[in-house]
Amino acid sequence: MKRYSVFAIAREALSHHQGWERAWKSPLPKASYDAVIIGAGGHGLATAYYLGKNHGIRNVAILEKGWLGGGNTGRNTTIIRSNYLQDPSAALYEKARSLYETLSQELNYNIMFSPRGLLMLAQTHHEVRGYLRTVHANNLQGVSTKWITPERVKQLVPIINIDGPRYPILGALYQARGGTARHDAVAWGYARACSDMGMDIIQQCEVTGVRSENGQVTGVETSKGYIGTKKLGIVVAGHSGQVADMAGFRLPVESMALQALVSEPIKPCMDVVVMANTVHGYMSQSDKGEMVIGGGTDGFNNYTQRGSFHHIEETLRALVETFPMISRLKMLRQWGGIVDMTGDRSPIISKTPLGNCFINCGWGTGGFKAIPGSGWAMADLMARGEPGPLAAEFDMWRFREGRFIDESVAAGVAH
CA distance 367 to 372: 10
φ, ψ (nearest 5 deg) of residue 273: -95, 135
* Residues from 354 through 413 that contact another protein (CB under 8 A): 389-390, 392, 398, 400-404, 406, 408-409
CA distance 146 to 176: 9
Instruction: Give the SS3 label for residue 1.
Output: coil
Cβ proximity to another protein: between 2 and 215 the closer is 2
Select from 76, 77, 82, 141 the one that contacts another protein (CB under 8 A).
141
* Residues from 21 through 80 that contact another protein (CB under 8 A): 21-26, 66-70, 74
CA distance 363 to 279: 23
Could you say whether residue 165 binds another protein (CB under 8 A)?
yes
Select from 164, 248, 252, 412 the one that contacts another protein (CB under 8 A).
164
Task: Report the nearest approach of another protein to the CB of residue 411 (Å).
Answer: 11
Q: Which stretch binds another protein (CB under 8 A): 38-46, 128-136, 211-219, 229-237?
A: 128-136
Could you say whether residue 214 binds another protein (CB under 8 A)?
no
Select from 1, 30, 126, 208 the one that contacts another protein (CB under 8 A).
126
Ramachandran area for residue 171 (φ above 0: left; ψ -120 to 50: alpha; else beta): left
Could you say whether residue 11 binds another protein (CB under 8 A)?
no
Is residue 145 within 8 A of residue 83, CB to CB? The reply is yes
* Residues from 314 through 333 that contact another protein (CB under 8 A): 316-317, 319-321, 324-333
Size, binding site for another protein by CB under 8 A: 120
**Direct distance between the N- and C-terminal alpha carbons of the chain, in angstroms, rounded to an integer:** 36
Could you say whether residue 335 binds another protein (CB under 8 A)?
yes
Could you say whether residue 213 binds another protein (CB under 8 A)?
no
Cβ proximity to another protein: between 125 and 213 the closer is 125
Q: How far is CA 187 from CA 8, 103, 113, 300, in A?
A: 22, 12, 13, 29
* Residues from 171 through 200 that contact another protein (CB under 8 A): 182, 184-185, 188-189
Residues 6+ apart with CB under 8 A from 211: 217, 218, 219, 220, 221, 226
Cβ proximity to another protein: between 47 and 134 the closer is 134
Residues 6+ apart with CB under 8 A from 334: 259, 260, 261, 307, 312
Select from 32, 58, 128, 413 the one that contacts another protein (CB under 8 A).
128
